Amino acid sequence: MLDFIALFIGLALSWAFGTATVAAAYSRSTSSAPGSWIAGCGWFVGIFATTLLMRLLSIAGASWSTTSIGAPLLVAVLAGLWIARSGVRARIGDFPRRTGAALAGAHLRGWQRVAWRLLVGWIALRFALLLAEVWWLPLYPWDAWTQWSTKARVWFELGRIVPFVPIQEWLDAPSSSVYLDAAPHYPATVPLFQVWAAVLVGRWDDALVNLPWWFTGVAFCIAFYGALRRLGFVPLLALVGAGIVMSLPILNVHIALAGYADLPLAAFFTLGATSAFLAVRSRSLADVAIAVVLLAACVVIKNPGKVWLIVLVPALVTAALPRRGLQLAGAAFGAAALAILWLARNGVNILGYQLSPQFAMPWNALFDAYFSFANWNLLWYCAVATVALAWRQLLSRDVAPWTCLVAAGLMFLFVGFAFTNAGAWVEDQSTVNRATLHLAPLVVVWMFVALAAWRRAASVSEAKPQPPGGLTRSA
């Protein structure tokens, strides 16, 4: 139990560092952000900064320990609190009351307060059960113990980062200075999550090293709620959106069966893209900085993160240039289609996926994954309904960037499923769900934004004066 408490305190320290950093950025910014956005993004900034610190310590030849990693984080937090001590004192003094009132729905009345409390209770119960799963289950998922945690275990035992190399280089190596696993080219960030947890526990524990995934889920829920609040949704609707994302079975699986990089990539990409869109609108340096940090992390979490950044570009162009952005985005889609055809014809290998000129979309397996099996609840049915209801608004000024992002993301996924060896992993229902998880939370945001635009358009139409009925022109 003491190990568990120490682990919680250490991970909370990373969270506190990130939250202090994000709060400091917004304290000097022209745009304001709700506490949920600041606190939720704080975990992602903090844990990413922790892995960067661990990399620096490894380069410097310093062994990892609770002191060498935790002390700089603690000093940074204390320094931030001292610099902003007057504002912090006022906030901390009232923090328990404000937090309790917010969780209890004191800002709502009637049925909305009841609905709020039921949703908060359901989400809290969900995370309590997920915490039990993470605490009790040892490292289980296949990829986790063949190509992610292999690195974490070796690096923890050695106290530093050592290279993992392909099998031929490993065979040719003169000593045990290099190591081998199923994916030596994978980035180091996610394994360092587990190393930090193991350092805090003081030993390698196959269950406790997965607690950062639970923290990631909790923080993502909080930040997603904050994102919808910043996009103009009322608290109850924002909570419904967070609940929808947290109800996705595949997302819950990636918390309970921790160890994969897909949940962190989905969270970093969702929040980074949202912050980028907010930055275009607010012109705030704080939003720009948060977007840069979160999107940069995507590149070093999982290799497809590089492609997801490219996918984001047409949407950002559309957001930044509302008059000509759609034409430029359309040209980008056309150029991308031609480039894909050319690359497929030449059999190019991209990020380990071999492109093939033969179109072979596994439609039946894809339909099963999205609409038949219990991976996504009603997400894709709701997406289809959103298109049917709000098709006139999908390319409107507020919705077009989100539509471009979702369209480009689906294009990336479907090209991978149809033109590469990933099609086989759609048939066995493996990669199709993990890869789609990267985009799914943004699909939820897109649905909310599109349906809000549709509702506004309907309200305007209803408010227009109608000509008096029953009148005819006289001869």
Do 19 and 156 share a structural domain? yes
Categorize the per-residue pLDDT at 134 as very low, low, confident or very high, splitting at 50, 70 and 90. very high
Domain shared by 59 and 161, yes or no = yes
Q: How far apart are CA 161 and CA 409, in angstroms?
A: 33
Contacting residues for 168 by C-beta, under 8 A, at least 6 apart: none
The total domain count for the chain is: 2
Residue among 266, 216, 215, 227 at smallest CA distance from 37: 227
Is residue 297 in some structural domain? no
User: Are the beta carbons of 304 and 340 closer than 8 angstroms?
Assistant: no
Instruction: Give the C-alpha separation, 351 to 330, whole Å.
Output: 25
> Band of the pLDDT at 470, cuts 50, 70, 90?
very low
CA distance 48 to 25: 17
Tell me the one-letter amino acid at 110. G
CB atoms within 10 A of CB 133: 17
Whether residues 142 and 234 fall in one domain: yes
- Cβ-contact 326, 312 below 8 angstroms: no
Tell me, what's the pLDDT at 88?
54
Domain range for 400 is: 322-458
Confidence of residue 473 (pLDDT cuts 50, 70, 90): very low
At 472 the pLDDT is 39
pLDDT at position 93: 56
Question: Do 143 and 235 lie in a common domain?
Answer: yes
Do 227 and 337 have their domain in common?
A: no
In a domain, 93, yes or no: no
Residue 35 inside a domain? The answer is: yes
Structure tokens belonging to residue 106: 């004191």
At residue 446, what is the residue type? W
Is the domain of 187 the same as that of 329?
Answer: no
Residue entry with tokens 């196959």: 206
- Domain end call among 225, 248, 263: 263
Share of the chain above pLDDT 90, in %: 65
In the listed set 263, 288, 310, which residue is the last one of a domain according to the structure? 263
Last residue of a domain, one of 244, 263, 282: 263
Answer whether residue 205 is part of any domain.
yes
CB 416 within 8 A of CB 422: yes
Higher-pLDDT residue of 356, 185: 185
What percentage of residues in the chain have a pLDDT greater than 70? 91
What would the two tokens of residue 425 be?
């992993």
pLDDT score of 421 more than 80? no
In a domain, 57, yes or no: yes
Query: What digits encode the pLDDT tens for the residues 32-86?
Result: 888 899 999 999 999 999 999 999 999 999 999 999 999 999 998 888 777 656 5
Has residue 389 been placed in a domain? Answer: yes
| 76 and 154 assigned to the same domain | yes
**Token pair of 51, please?**
């892995």
- Tokens 């394994």 correspond to what residue? 191
Report the mean per-residue pLDDT for the chain: 89
pLDDT band at 434 (very low <50, low <70, confident <90, very high): very high
Q: Are residues 243 and 331 in the same domain?
A: no
SS (H, E, C) the chain: CHHHHHHHHHHHHHHHHHHHHHHHHHHCCCCCCCHHHHHHHHHHHHHHHHHHHHHHHHHHCCCCCHHHHHHHHHHHHHHHHHHCHHHHHHHHHHHHHHHHHHHCCCCCCHHHHHHHHHHHHHHHHHHHHHHHHHHHCCCCCHHHHHHHHHHHHHHHHHCCCCCECCHHHHHHCCCCCCECCCCCCCCCHHHHHHHHHHHHHCCCCCCHHHHHHHHHHHHHHHHHHHHHHHCCCCHHHHHHHHHHHHCCHHHHHHHHCCCCCHHHHHHHHHHHHHHHHHHHHHCCHHHHHHHHHHHHHHHCCCCCHHHHHHHHHHHHHHHHCCCCHHHHHHHHHHHHHHHHHHHHHCCCEECCEECCCCCCCCHHHHHHHHHHCCCCCCHHHHHHHHHHHHCCCCCCCCCHHHHHHHHHHHHHHHHHHHHCCCHHHHHCCCHHHHHHHCCHHHHHHHHHHHHHHHHHHHHHHHHCCCCCCCCCCCC
Whether 164 and 48 map to the same domain: the answer is yes
Predicted local confidence at residue 32, as pLDDT: 80
Indicate if the pLDDT at residue 176 is higher than 80.
Answer: no
Residues 78 and 164 in one domain: yes
Cβ neighbourhood burial of 229 (10 Å; 0-12, 13-18, 19+): buried
Separation of alpha carbons 254 and 259, rounded Å: 8
Residue 155 belongs to some domain of the structure: yes
**Whole-number Å distance between alpha carbons of 56 and 330:** 42
Residue 71 CA to residue 330 CA, distance in Å, equals 50
In a domain, 345, yes or no: yes
Q: Which of 385, 381, 359 is nearest to 371 (CA)?
A: 381
Q: Angle, nearest 10°, between helix axes 66-83 and 85-103?
A: 100
Residues 158 and 232 in one domain: yes
Least confident of 88-97, 140-149, 255-264: 88-97
Within this chain, do residues 146 and 65 fall inside the same structural domain, yes or no? yes
